[in-house]
Structure 1
Amino acid sequence: MKKRVLKRMLCTVTAAAMTIGMAGCSSGEGTSGGDTEQETREITLSIGQSNYREESFTKIHDLALENIGIDVQYEFPPDAQGQNLLQTQLATGNVPDIAQINEPSDYGLYSAEENFVPLDDEEWVDRLAFDKSEIQSGDGHIYAMPITGFSGVMGVVYNKQVFEELKLDIPKTWDEFMNVCEVISESGRTALYLSGKDTWTIQITPMIFLANALDDRAEEVYDSILSGENKLADVPEFKEALEAFQDLCSSGYVNKDYTVGTYEDSKAKVASGEVGMIVSGEYAVTDIANKYPDAEIGMFPLPYNDVDKFLTSKYVFGLAVPKDSKNQEAALEFLNYMSQPECLELYLEENAVNSPYTDVESKNLNPVLQEIYDTYFAEGQTLPQVADMLGEFGSVNSDIFLQMYVEVASGGEIDSAISQLDSALAEYGHNAGLEGY
């Protein structure tokens, strides 16, 4: 039977999510898997728009349909709407059969213990390339199947041609970085592009400032906030980080439309050389390499406080099965199949980051990222992001912190913002019964 690609729009209560449905045989019809006739079962898989790779997911769809008789309908909501959309779906019971989350940092956000199927006994667990405790919830269970390994590099993505034209070296200190911004601005370009419309991106710069200001104390300070021992107001480096971020946004080196700039704009502009730098993650390096193959892109740590370390995130991309899924058995079977080298290596070819499994190779690692893994990661020159800790506070990060960063960038009062953030953490911690609150 000839397979076809259908395009449609999936509407929900709060947002519209673009969907590609790759329908083969309708449910109940036979499809050929070798010489064996098998029933075709249909499931839905929701994955963030920036993580959806059409070529690889089309191939994965075709393999799953042919070999295990599962027809995967992909949904890929815009990144800015993804969290609220999934929260609404979980609250109403109108869920996809599989949903992408960041694990373990999103467990609290989505109340994983209540909403997702535990996956501890799935066959892929024994093949993990890292200790399973790193993706367990506080109750000791695993609630998502990893499709990437740990890395999460965040820093400055820059256009090498712009740097070469202007004879700029990679800055190692904050003064050197500000000088780079000045030279790029004098050339008629925007030095640094922020994409505040996609609020999840604008948080990266102040998070780097905070981690660099704390340096080796970062993990200790985050833990003290999580335990209720300290408030953000008790951490002077947090206020300093927000002040530095506000100063940067008013320096004239940042695009004036930073509140409406988008993540897609940021990648296109730095790839073209219209912009010299963006602050983003390794995913931007991969996206730019795929979409703009002629662009010469590099990456270096944002050297605030003269610290030469990359910010990292302690999570991986994972696929979770909601308890309200009407096709749990097929969803779990598909996850096991997707974890196999023949499927996951297709995804990692286009989303080239570390592999989560010992028997799955990430064959197409971008040389820029490979160099970072081989140097900064190998030498432990990394710092954790505060957002990992905030993941324990449900939607407080997405609902309150992200908007706060935009307001601070626009000149908002910092002491008042910190007070509101502490109140939000205290309220959530109390209501959730977190120890120390």
Structure 2
Amino acid sequence: MPRAAVAALTVVALTACGSGSGSSSDGTVTLSFLMGNDQSTVDTTKALANAFTQANPKIKIKPEVIAGGSEGDNIVKTRLSTGDMADVFWYNPGSLLQALNPGQTMVDLTGDPVLKNVKKDYLPVVTQGGKVYGVPAAAAAGGGILYNRKVYERLGLKPPTTWAEFMANNDKVKAAGVTPVITTFKDTWTSQVMVLADYYNVQAAVPTFAQDYTAGKTKFATTPAAVAGFQHLAEIHAKGYMNKGFGSATNEQGLKMLIEGKGAHYAMLSLTLPPQLASYPQAATDVGFFGIPGNDPAKHGATVWEPPALYIAKTTKHLDEAKKFLAFVASPAGTAAVTKAVPPSGPYRVEGATLPANALQVAKDLQAYLDRRATTPALEFLSPVKGPSLEQITVAVGSGLTQPVDGAAQYDKDVAKQAKQLGLPGWG
């Protein structure tokens, strides 16, 4: 996903401390903190650092901002492998954690009081080899359909619980002269969401899919529930539900269309909404969320993008202070500090943390799914296997250029290359 540039003054504002980590003559300890450069991460970090230092004036937080995306990944891997990592660092949970060799590079938090407030169903995504390494640093996000609630109210529609109901809603939206499904293939990464956010339905149909997929025992193209996401893309195109110029539309334009009611639905992650509030405050109430519908209304649920985590480098010289910081981050006080700075796009994964009364509607909607235990993490949090070409494949399927089953088969080939590079057993 695209990341916003951050002004240097924003970084300096986090702390007045010098560079690096260490201890001063008055007993003050400075923790170095490595993080990505997107605005939400910087704002979250600033809020956490300020609130923690107020409560613990003898511990200062020194930030180090690095590039995002693959460049940032490479920096993190290099710094860990050379023993030059900051005391604490912000990074993804799930499959990407495995590539960091946490058993050799990170502090094992298994059984530590640092984890006492962390939701138990979050722990698997920060666990490798049976050991826990991180705590949630932000709120969860929903992957599914963002929809304009004003359009729904005007047309007398209800959030669907089956794909057939969703398509019926699209027919009514189209008849009313509104774009049924906003599509933004200029930003190719957005084309993946319909497939990736459908994973709840895949797991509901095949509970062992993630394990079998990782082991090379099952494929997308030979699993009907997994092909369904590709079929959804093709069907939306075939029905003419997409906006004109969908191939040149951007994510920013798509969100604007949705908020203004020029489009009714957008397959997207809820975390893209908070940055729009400054320009479109109505997004907080006018946009809702529902999971990609399947075929059984009784099993309707949603796919969750788990929040990034904070980890402690094994090379830290300030372990007690680092643990104290992580315990604060994974506490109701920590989440309250974040909420003041960054409106959460979903619930926090911390016991005792609550959404504010004025929380975004998308966050409230995702909370309802979590309360019903009708969620599953996206596949990338359960398996290290994710092919790099998915967004090109889904653009072709969603544009009517590739048949759904062919797209799924292409993705299987793409995945096989990556699985072999990772040396995973069962892939030949």
TM-score class, shorter-chain normalisation, is: 0.7 to 0.9
Residue 356 (1) aligns with residue 349 (2): yes
Q: 1:245 aligns with which of 233, 254, 268?
A: 233
Alignment of 1:295-310 (within 5 A): 295=283, 296-305=286-295, 307=297, 309-310=300-301
Percent identical among aligned pairs is 19
Q: Deviations over 1:236-256 (max 9, x none)?
A: 343343133123134332234
Q: 1:422 to 1:319 in 2, by over 3 A?
A: same
Task: Provide the rounded CA distance (Å) in 1 between the counterparts of 2:102 and 2:108.
Answer: 9
Q: Deviations over 1:5-30 (max 9, x none)?
A: x9329xxxxxxxxx63315434289x
Residue 85 (1) aligns with residue 71 (2): yes
Q: 1:223 to 1:98 in 2, by over 3 A?
A: same
Moved more, 197-206 or 269-278: 197-206
Residue 120 (1) aligns with residue 106 (2): no
Query: Could you list the runs of 5+ residues in structure 1 that have no partner in the other structure?
Result: 1-5, 10-18, 30-35
Q: 1:347 aligns with which of 316, 338, 352?
A: 338
Q: 1:338 aligns with which of 329, 334, 339?
A: 329
Deviation at residue 117 of structure 1 after TM alignment: 4.1
Deviation at residue 70 of structure 1 after TM alignment: 1.7
Deviation at residue 84 of structure 1 after TM alignment: 0.8
Name the aligned partner's letter for residue 208 of structure 2: E
Name the counterpart of 1:271.
259
Task: Provide the rounded CA distance (Å) in 1 between the counterparts of 2:322 and 2:128.
Answer: 24
Q: 1:351 to 1:109 in 2, by over 3 A?
A: farther
Name the aligned partner's letter for residue 8 of structure 1: A
Q: 1:258 to 1:218 in 2, by over 3 A?
A: farther
Q: 1:249 to 1:161 in 2, by over 3 A?
A: same
Q: Deviations over 1:154-196 (max 9, x none)?
A: 3322112222233334334434422332333344432222344
Q: Deviations over 1:362-397 (max 9, x none)?
A: 4454455435534x43434445543334x422xx34
Task: Provide the rounded CA distance (Å) in 1 between the counterparts of 2:61 and 2:128.
Answer: 34
Q: Secondary structure at the match of 1:219?
A: coil
Task: Provide the rounded CA distance (Å) in 1 between the counterparts of 2:58 and 2:41.
Answer: 22
Name the counterpart of 1:317.
308
Task: Provide the rounded CA distance (Å) in 1 between the counterparts of 2:19 and 2:426.
Answer: 53
Task: Provide the rounded CA distance (Å) in 1 between the counterparts of 2:16 and 2:138.
Answer: 30
Name the counterpart of 1:221.
209
Q: Is the 8 A contact 1:70 1:330 kept in 2?
A: no
Deviation at residue 318 of structure 1 after TM alignment: 0.9
Q: Is the 8 A contact 2:194 2:232 kept in 1?
A: no
Name the counterpart of 1:22.
13
Name the counterpart of 1:392.
384
Task: Provide the rounded CA distance (Å) in 2 between the counterparts of 1:220 and 1:127.
Answer: 29
Q: Is the 8 A contact 1:211 1:218 kept in 2?
A: no
Name the counterpart of 2:419.
429
Residue 379 (1) aligns with residue 372 (2): yes
Q: Is the 8 A contact 1:311 1:385 kept in 2?
A: no
Q: Is the 8 A contact 1:101 1:144 kept in 2?
A: no
Alignment of 1:149-298 (within 5 A): 152-209=141-198, 211-212=200-201, 214=202, 216-284=204-272, 292-295=280-283, 296-298=286-288
Task: Provide the rounded CA distance (Å) in 1 between the counterparts of 2:289 and 2:121.
Answer: 29
Moved more, 364-373 or 219-228: 364-373
Deviation at residue 297 of structure 1 after TM alignment: 2.1
Q: Secondary structure at the match of 2:206?
A: helix
Name the counterpart of 2:3.
none
Name the aligned partner's letter for residue 272 of structure 1: E
Name the counterpart of 1:412.
402
Task: Provide the rounded CA distance (Å) in 2 between the counterparts of 1:122 and 1:197.
Answer: 46
Task: Provide the rounded CA distance (Å) in 2 between the counterparts of 1:199 and 1:177.
Answer: 24
Task: Provide the rounded CA distance (Å) in 1 between the counterparts of 2:238 and 2:99.
Answer: 33
Query: TM-score, normalising length from structure 1?
Result: 0.75
Q: 1:326 to 1:124 in 2, by over 3 A?
A: closer
Query: Could you list the runs of 5+ residues in structure 2 that have no partner in the other structure?
Result: 1-5
Q: 1:254 to 1:367 in 2, by over 3 A?
A: closer
Q: Secondary structure at the match of 2:75?
A: helix
Deviation at residue 142 of structure 1 after TM alignment: 2.1
Name the aligned partner's letter for residue 11 of structure 2: I
Name the counterpart of 1:13.
none
Name the counterpart of 1:16.
none
Task: Provide the rounded CA distance (Å) in 1 between the counterparts of 2:219 and 2:109.
Answer: 35
Deviation at residue 358 of structure 1 after TM alignment: 3.2
Deviation at residue 43 of structure 1 after TM alignment: 2.8
Query: TM-score, normalising length from structure 2?
Result: 0.77
* Cα RMSD for the two superposed structures: 3.9
Q: Is the 8 A contact 1:145 1:319 kept in 2?
A: yes
Q: Is the 8 A contact 2:205 2:225 kept in 1?
A: no
Name the counterpart of 1:14.
none
Aligned pairs, how many?
406
